[in-house]
Amino acid sequence: KTGKVLYYNNPMWPGEAHSLKVEKILYRGKSKYQEVLVFESSTYGKVLVLDGIVQLTDKDECAYQEMIAHLPLCSIPSPNTVLVIGGGDGGVLREISRHRSVETIHICEIDKLVIDVCEEYFPELYVGFGDPRVQLHVGDAVEFLRNAAEGMYDAIIVDSSDPIGPAQELVEKPFFEMIARALRPGGVLCNQAESLWLHTHLIQDMLAICRETFKGSVHYAWTSVPTYPSGVIGFLLCSKDGEPVNFMDPINPIEQQEGADNAGREIKFYNSEIHKAAFALPSFAKRELSTV
C-alpha cells in the first residue's frame, strides 16, 4: 500500500528481507508467467518487481545494465551480432546501442507484459527497443536457442531473472550447451550470476557447468547494485574455443565508442577501470570458486 514499506522475502535469501518505501503503486498485473508490479519509491525512483523480486530501479539500473552489456562487448574486437535473453525492459538493448560495430541485435523475452509495462513506465529503458538494429522475439529462451543457427552470435547476454519461475531452466547444463552452440568460435557469453554473499552453491554449479561447456576462458565478475539482495550481483563470462579472449583486458574500450546511447544518454557507471576491477574477488570467494 502507498506509504507502507514493501518487504521482499524469498527462499533465495531466507531470513532476510529488503525494503523500499512505496510512494505510489503505478501498476499491478499478472501474466501467464509472473506477477508484475511497478511502484514509485521514495528513494530509488520507479521500481519494477516480478514475482516479488526487484528487477530494476531508476536509480541503480545503470550499474547492472551497463556491466552486463559492456563486460562482454568490450572484451572482443568489433562485436557484430548479439543476442539478449530476457531483458524485456530494454535497458540492455539501450547499452548495446552504444557499440557502433554491432549490426544485429536479437532479443528473446518470454513475457510480453514486461515489455508493455516498461514501455509505459520506464521510457528511459524501453528506448532500447527503438534502435533499428533490434529484432524482438517473444518466447522462451530455451525454445529460441534450440532453433538458433549454429555459430551465429559474437556475444550472448543472459539478462534473466532468478531461477525460480520462468528462468528455472536457464541455469541448467542443456541451456549452456545451446548457448555454446549458438556462439561463433571465440564468441562470448555474459550471464547474470547472482550474489557472492548469498548463492555460493548456485555460482559453483554454474561455474562447473560453464567450465565443462566453454573451452575458452570462464571468469566471475561482480558489481554493486544496492537494490538487489545483499547489494551486489555477479556475472559469469565465458568464451567459446577459438580466438582467445582475455576478459580482464577490455580491448574494445567503451571510451572509444560514440559516447551516448540511442537516447543520447552518457554512460553513468561502467568504464574500463571498473571493467578490470570487476574480476577482483574477495579472498573467501576466491577459495570457494577455486574448488569447482
> What positions carry a catalytic annotation?
159
Q: Does 111 bind ligand AAT (CB under 6 A)?
A: yes
Q: Does 108 bind ligand AAT (CB under 6 A)?
A: yes
Q: Which of residues 202-241 bind ligand AAT (CB under 6 A)?
A: 228
C-beta atoms surrounding 211 within 10 Å = 13
Query: Which of 79, 163, 154, 84 shows the shortest CA–CA distance to 125?
Result: 84
Helix (H, G, I), strand (E, B) or coil at 125: helix
Alpha carbon distance 175, 161 (integer Å): 15
Return the residue of 167, 178, 221, 278 that touches ligand AAT, per CB under 6 A.
167
For residue 118, the Cα-to-chain-centroid distance in whole angstroms is 16
Take residue 159 and report the three cell numbers written for it.
Answer: 539478462
Sign of CA dihedral 245, 246, 251, 252: positive
Minimal distance, residue 50 CB to ligand AAT, in Å: 6
Kindly state the number of chain residues that form the binding site for ligand AAT, as judged by CB under 6 A.
28
- Which parts of 83-172 fold into alpha helices (H)? 91-96, 112-121, 123-126, 141-146
- The residue whose Cβ lies closest to ligand AAT is 86
Q: Which is nearer to ligand AAT, 60 or 245 (CB)?
A: 60
Q: Does 95 bind ligand AAT (CB under 6 A)?
A: no
Query: Which of 259, 206, 215 shows the shortest CA–CA distance to 234?
Result: 206
Return the residue of 140, 156, 237, 239 that touches ligand AAT, per CB under 6 A.
140
Q: Does 170 bind ligand AAT (CB under 6 A)?
A: yes
Minimal distance, residue 190 CB to ligand AAT, in Å: 13
By CB under 6 A, which span of 69-77, 86-94, 201-209, 214-222 interacts with ligand AAT? 86-94
Q: Say if CB 92 and CB 157 are below 8 A apart.
A: yes
Minimal distance, residue 27 CB to ligand AAT, in Å: 14
Q: Say if CB 70 and CB 157 are below 8 A apart.
A: no
Q: Say if CB 78 and CB 100 are below 8 A apart.
A: no
Minimal distance, residue 241 CB to ligand AAT, in Å: 26
Chain positions contacting ligand AAT, by CB under 6 A: 50, 53, 55-56, 65, 85-89, 91-92, 108-111, 114, 140-141, 159-162, 166-167, 170, 192, 228
